[in-house]
Amino acid sequence: MQQLFGLEGKRILVLGGGQGMGEATVRLLASLGAQVAIADREIDRAQRVATQVTASGGRAIPLAIDVLDDDALIAGIAQAEKDFGPLDGMATVIGMAAWSALVEMDMDTWDEDHRRNLRYFFLAAREVARNLIQRQAPGSIVCVSSVDGSRCAPYHGSYGAAKAGLSNLIKTMTVEWSPHGIRANVVAPGAIITPRIPHAGDAEPMISDRIPMRRRGTVEDIAKAITFLLSDMAQYITGQTLAVDGGFLATYPIDIPPPTQAKPD
């Protein structure tokens, strides 16, 4: 299995790897032989995951990085390369939405959503790509977006616009970086159970009924998609946005009953 994915010994940076989708990604990558640098704003979370990976026979190091601080993000990636070794790939799962009607949204809110969903990813990807190009080494970069980047995002329009920006940005990265052997892709989750959006209890069936697969996704569902795109299994895939949404984007907004069967004469 490790040979199939080609991740054995690869060094991968996971921004936001201390919990949720990031933690699940770290665990899966490590199980396939990858070495993982776990970056989180809270070092205790990164340390906890790194300790568990190491105890299971893997290699992981924790890093404290605030991705909203440009200098800290650039320095953190440089530190990871120095302490851990040259990176072969990166995954980013950090993002959050501010809720506001567009007519009431102030520019600070707009800018904040773009900083924490789009801007930091560009900066991190640029730094990793620069290092790969300088070393003349191939690599893979994956970010997490949202289905809200492909459909409307009522009352969180700044978030939706930033997530849509990720899908456009990786296409440009693909054109500019593919000649250097660098792939860039997006995973777009639908309704996922995470530490910040837990199981909804009695309301869960109402949410699930809107999803063709009749369930919300798990952080492991997202980790599998990220790992696939980082791996050799996706060697000819770049510039793509992969929706992991249980079929949600394929739904029709109006309930249409099944056609009645004509009775035989």
Task: Give catalytic residues, as residue numbers.
Answer: 159
| Pair of tokens at residue 110 | 């707009």
Give the HSE-up count for residue 247: Cα atoms under 13 Å, Cβ half-sphere: 10
Beta bridge partners of 62: 38
Positive or negative CA dihedral for 202, 203, 208, 209?
positive
State the Cα torsion 133-75-11-139 to the nearest 10°: -30
- CA-nearest of 81, 113, 93 to 41 is 93
Angle between helix axes 43-55 and 20-31 (nearest 10 degrees) is: 20
Phi, psi torsion values for 157, nearest 5 degrees: -65, -35
